[in-house]
């Protein structure tokens, strides 16, 4: 009998996958749930009960929240990584952590294969496959949803025929909740003119009458370490900030972009902590880094985010970029003041012991220090010399200079 370790959320797709692998392939299924953020104790119990309901031989649960923060979120902040300039890429990091846990369980319990419940039309199947092959190339990969391509209604009917319950909301929306945010697919997201209803959202339901508030975020080497002067581990800091910013309705958005397969994809997301932390970090590093450092970091950060988002985190080039970030962010330490308001926020100020603002006694637009007016005039002349020479050449040729 084949033994398969299945990445299991207890949702419609993975429930179908567990039953189908057991009944149609005659396999023994080990369900592996991985908490990458958003799991309440009740949710952990629900998933475990669901694993029993779908006939799992064994259920394994792993808490990977710290792994997600320390291994991935820190880099996404340091790189200011936003897909399409808006989406904090909440899911790519989770899939790596989940694949690691599934492979670990497969090895521990002698499984012959690993499996996931992803379709063939999205990003997750590619992410899982790439991670599984990098981590355990000798294990077979099973993907019944991708192979069979059933509709969500067909999956629900298959489970109901076997006496397995199917909550109605799972048929319309696919919701992924993790430390770095929530993504929502299905329903209105398939129509580029529509948006999901208010009741779909969890983190960003605005509290009526909530006054503005100000928070202070502390960073060390480009990583958030404190909220309002209180040092917090990364997971606790992100969780607390999700609550603080989310109750103002901050962090909600819709992203349209290219999927790994080259198709256009659209999803709604909630990521209060992510959007606030990235904006705050960006302002702090403006104080500390030179213009060229910022320019190169922005380009490499975009590449790093794309590699993680597209399932290529195991490519050695990501280690190269991480080494660059370690050096680039060495002095990005300080505090950022952020004002939270109704569905909006603003970075109000930043300070750092390594700030370049006013360094050397100069003040932009007011005074220079360390150089004379004559030297400033000489610099201005040389800076524009190429343009001056080109204009002189055009006049000599009878052309009208701009």
CATH 3.40.50.620 occupies which residues in the chain?
3-73+82-171
Q: Which residue has the tokens 């190269």?
A: 320
Residue 38's pLDDT is 83
CB distance 305 to 371 below 8 Å: no
CATH 3.90.1260.10 occupies which residues in the chain?
177-351
Using the predicted structure, report yes or no on whether residue 360 has a pLDDT greater than 90: no
Stretch 24-49: mean pLDDT: 95
Model-level pTM? 0.92
Encoded tokens for 377: 């005039």
Q: Which of 52-56, 102-106, 345-349, 390-394 has the lowest mean pLDDT?
A: 390-394
**Rounded CA gap, 40 and 251, in Å?**
21
Residue 172's pLDDT is 76
Residue 274's pLDDT is 98
Residue 369's pLDDT is 67
pLDDT in tens, 200-247: 999 999 998 899 999 999 999 999 999 999 999 999 999 999 999 999
Using the predicted structure, report yes or no on whether residue 44 has a pLDDT greater than 60: yes
Q: Is 262 helix (H, G, I), strand (E, B) or coil?
A: coil
CATH of segment(s) 3-73+82-171? 3.40.50.620
Using the predicted structure, report yes or no on whether residue 171 has a pLDDT greater than 80: no
Encoded tokens for 111: 């499984």
Q: Which of 126-140, 171-185, 376-390 has the lowest mean pLDDT?
A: 171-185
Residue 372's pLDDT is 86
CB distance 274 to 181 below 8 Å: yes
**Rounded CA gap, 149 and 186, in Å?**
16
Stretch 302-324: mean pLDDT: 97
Stretch 366-392: mean pLDDT: 87
Indicate the CATH number of 177-351 among 1.20.120.420, 3.90.1260.10, 3.20.20.70, 3.40.50.300. Answer: 3.90.1260.10
Q: Which residue has the tokens 């992510």?
A: 274
Using the predicted structure, report yes or no on whether residue 401 has a pLDDT greater than 70: no
Average pLDDT, the chain: 94
pLDDT in tens, 322-359: 999 999 999 999 999 999 999 999 999 999 999 999 77
Residue 361's pLDDT is 58
Confidence of residue 398 (pLDDT cuts 50, 70, 90): confident
**C-alpha separations of 87 from 38, 49, 266 in Å:** 18, 33, 11
**Rounded CA gap, 91 and 297, in Å?**
22
* 214, β-bridge pairs: 339
> Closest Cα partner for 77 from 312, 267, 325?
325
Residue 181's pLDDT is 95
Residue 204's pLDDT is 96
pLDDT in tens, 6-29: 999 999 999 999 999 999 999 999
């Amino acid at each position: 009998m084949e033994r398969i370790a299945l990445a299991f959320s207890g949702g419609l797709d993975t429930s179908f996958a567990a039953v189908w692998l057991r009944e149609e392939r005659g396999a023994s299924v080990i369900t592996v749930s991985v908490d990458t953020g958003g799991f309440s104790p009740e949710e952990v119990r629900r998933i475990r009960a669901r694993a029993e309901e779908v006939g799992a031989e064994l259920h394994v649960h792993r808490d990977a929240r710290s792994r997600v923060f320390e291994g991935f979120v820190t880099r996404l902040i340091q790189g200011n990584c936003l897909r399409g300039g808006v989406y904090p890429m909440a899911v790519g990091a989770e899939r790596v952590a989940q694949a690691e846990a599934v492979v670990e369980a497969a090895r521990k319990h002698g499984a012959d294969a690993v499996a996931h419940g992803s379709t063939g039309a999205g990003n997750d199947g590619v992410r899982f496959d790439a991670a599984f092959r990098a981590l355990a190339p000798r294990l077979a990969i099973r993907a019944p949803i991708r192979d069979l391509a059933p509709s969500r209604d067909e999956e629900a009917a298959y489970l109901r025929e076997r006496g397995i319950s199917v909550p109605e909301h799972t048929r319309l929306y696919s919701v992924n909740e993790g430390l770095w945010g929530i993504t929502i697919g299905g329903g209105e997201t398939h129509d580029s003119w529509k948006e999901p209803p208010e009741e779909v959202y969890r983190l960003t339901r605005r509290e009526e009458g909530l006054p503005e508030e100000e928070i202070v975020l502390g960073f060390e080497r480009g990583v958030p370490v404190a909220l309002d002067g209180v040092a917090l581990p990364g997971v606790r800091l992100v969780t607390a900030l999700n609550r603080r910013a989310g109750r103002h309705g901050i962090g909600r958005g819709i992203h349209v972009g290219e999927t790994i397969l080259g198709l256009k994809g659209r999803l709604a997301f909630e990521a209060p902590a992510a959007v606030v932390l990235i904006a705050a970090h960006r302002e702090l590093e403006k104080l500390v880094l030179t213009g060229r450092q910022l320019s190169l970091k922005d380009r490499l950060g975009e590449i790093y985010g794309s590699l993680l988002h597209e399932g290529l985190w195991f490519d050695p080039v990501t280690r190269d970029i991480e080494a660059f970030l370690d050096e680039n962010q060495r002095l990005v330490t300080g505090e950022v003041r952020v004002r939270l308001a109704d569905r909006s926020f603003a970075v109000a100020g930043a300070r750092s012991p390594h700030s370049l603002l006013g360094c050397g006694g100069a003040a932009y637009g007011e005074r220079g220090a360390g150089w004379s007016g004559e030297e400033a005039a000489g610099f201005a002349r040389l800076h524009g010399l190429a343009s001056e020479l080109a204009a002189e050449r055009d006049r000599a040729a009878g052309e009208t200079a701009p």
